[in-house]
Structure 1
């Protein structure tokens, strides 16, 4: 197997042709064709190198011949010498360590030390590494060991899988087959319901959208809606989670690695219940997203293809913002990466973009219903859906994001524009309190008890 990636760490890098960034040198070489392949019998020795620079030069050549990327990291205070060997300055003791991260059966470790100004090389060791063939039991042991290393270990978690036909609370067993078409082709849909004080909030509303998304994705569920509903409730119960979320997926199922799902034996259902905290009511900044919005056909479907959403979120974080705001093909305000947007206009209207080109958020639709209470109290004049321009949005009295994970989150800045006085709005706060109250003590139509 070719050595695909080469990593070199140095406590002190004595010589380099070019240093970039923070004491890092990265050299990539990808020829159109190459014939050199590194096998378990290949070896590299540094005994013939007469200087530290000569050693580095040989290592670079070796990496390039292997169609690889070489990364050198130097500590602060590194002495950088000329690229000519005869001008290389003596250097203090240093060590290099190489590690192959390819899937081949070869791993090379090279350690070179300088103990004097003569730059004589120390020891060189080459070690073979066999990728083990594991039994099913050994795989389970490795998964358990991996979970023990997690920095953030989730609590009160349970997973259902139609593949193994039951629920597990062992996090290391919460796996999905690699040949599942949801994994390698993105052919799947999902949805989420919140858990509050031992009740599933808007389970039926989310489940209805879940089934609609599956129909649009041409996935026939393995069970009817009533059985799926029962499975979801039992999964939440097994988790012992009283406040959190229940997320569930419908996949075309495992079968093969082709594009068409025709080789899939049956669709698959997965569900996970896990603990979360109640989101805080705090103002945030948003930015206009430069990531292209999904076409309406895919935007109104809650599919697992969230790459545009993720990139939009990452772009926002790179600009020290909470979320990106998408505009539709006509330039009107659409939605956030996983939340709806709403405004309180100067006329005291609660205005939300219509759902014809975006996902119809269950929480957003519930907020529209609860907002009628504020109309009765004359805190709002009316509630409506419609087209919203960027100018209207930025001139609004209040701006908010709405979703099951954030509930109602105030926006106090959009790009460089401050929304109103730059403070969380009173209507936004009232809607946040209404949705929390609804989750805690709302009618049976939105609260399903979990039988722990």
Structure 2
């Protein structure tokens, strides 16, 4: 773990307290975060995460300390990391204790959980759940913080627990009209009619860094891409469906709402495009 103190990234033992109980991130979820993959002791996609981090902070009106601070914090936690262990580095920025105090900036590093590795390799069973908002509402309701990766993840985690109660691994959220939005911690991508599709971000979903990288590489490889307002029926009819996230990568959906499905052999191509 590392925390920003007095202009320096300070590495601290995992058990050492670094956040006061009065921190607004702890008490109110008033903050933002990013989860960055660590591969071979490096963070190859850190820049994309920092760009999204800055957008999230701006949506909350948080003063981000800047990319140099986050880069220093990442370097501090990676200093003694075993390069042979795949890692998950989480960056946190909160409003701090308030009353004019500086924001809290810290980084945590841990091995990627075995369940994440299993889902990446074996795929996922997924259920669709309604998020309870029209698809276009968050775009005109900035107080709902659509598109920000905030610490207020209680609903996301509750959706995951509900999926587990139903015997599934994960969730695809839908709007009141039945349009596909996103997963609690992922971006939805599907392949249909020779094209890769993903939902529009003007629905208030989080812009996916992994999805953006996949689409850029797919286009360069001659695989067309599109931003599409799709439905769960479109997912059922698709050649393949994946949930994408920075650490899990592209996890193929093998079961959707209890219905088994395949990936038409496309997951290998997706993995190859995302490699590196």
User: After superposition, where does 1:369-448 map in structure 2 within 5 Å?
Assistant: 369-375=216-222, 380=223, 382-419=224-261, 423-435=262-274, 437-438=275-276
Task: Provide closer, same or farther for how the CA distance between residues 186 and 163 of structure 1 changes in structure 2, counting only shifts above 3 A.
Answer: farther
Q: Give the Cα separation in 2 of the matches to 1:168 and 1:225.
A: 18
Q: Deviations over 1:77-136 (max 9, x none)?
A: xxxxxxxxxxxxxxxxxxxxxxxxxxxxxxxxxxxxxxxxxxxxxxxxxxxxxxxxxxxx
Residue aligning to 2:103: 267
SS of 1:333's partner is: coil
SS of 1:200's partner is: coil
Task: Provide closer, same or farther for how the CA distance between residues 268 and 241 of structure 1 changes in structure 2, counting only shifts above 3 A.
Answer: farther
Residue aligning to 1:321: 168
Shift of 1:417: 2.7
Q: 1:356 aligns with which of 179, 199, 202?
A: 202
SS of 1:220's partner is: coil
SS of 2:177's partner is: coil
Task: Provide closer, same or farther for how the CA distance between residues 283 and 265 of structure 1 changes in structure 2, counting only shifts above 3 A.
Answer: closer
TM-score between both structures, scaled by the size of structure 2: 0.87
Q: What RMSD in Å do the two structures reach over aligned CA positions?
A: 2.2
Q: Give the Cα separation in 2 of the matches to 1:166 and 1:397.
A: 47
Contact kept, 8 Å, 2:130 with 2:174, in 1: the verdict is: no
Bigger Rg over Cα? 1
Q: Give the Cα separation in 1 of the matches to 2:177 and 2:4.
A: 42
SS of 2:25's partner is: helix
Contact kept, 8 Å, 1:316 with 1:322, in 2: the verdict is: yes
Gaps of 5+ in 1: 1-158, 255-260, 439-452
Q: Deviations over 1:125-171 (max 9, x none)?
A: xxxxxxxxxxxxxxxxxxxxxxxxxxxxxxxxxx1112585433522
Q: Give the Cα separation in 2 of the matches to 1:405 and 1:227.
A: 22
Shift of 1:320: 1.0
Residue aligning to 1:177: 20
Q: Give the Cα separation in 2 of the matches to 1:407 and 1:369.
A: 15
SS of 1:281's partner is: helix
Q: Deviations over 1:332-360 (max 9, x none)?
A: 10110000111111x12111112222100
Q: 1:282 aligns with which of 122, 129, 135?
A: 122
SS of 2:50's partner is: helix
User: After superposition, where does 1:65-214 map in structure 2 within 5 Å?
Assistant: 159-163=1-5, 166-214=9-57
SS of 1:273's partner is: strand
Q: Which has the higher contact order (CA 8 A, sep 6+)?
A: 2
Task: Provide closer, same or farther for how the CA distance between residues 276 and 241 of structure 1 changes in structure 2, counting only shifts above 3 A.
Answer: farther
Residue aligning to 2:62: 219
Count of aligned positions: 262
TM-score between both structures, scaled by the size of structure 1: 0.54
Gaps of 5+ in 2: none
Q: Give the Cα separation in 1 of the matches to 2:83 and 2:154.
A: 29
Q: Give the Cα separation in 2 of the matches to 1:418 and 1:182.
A: 40
Shift of 1:384: 1.0
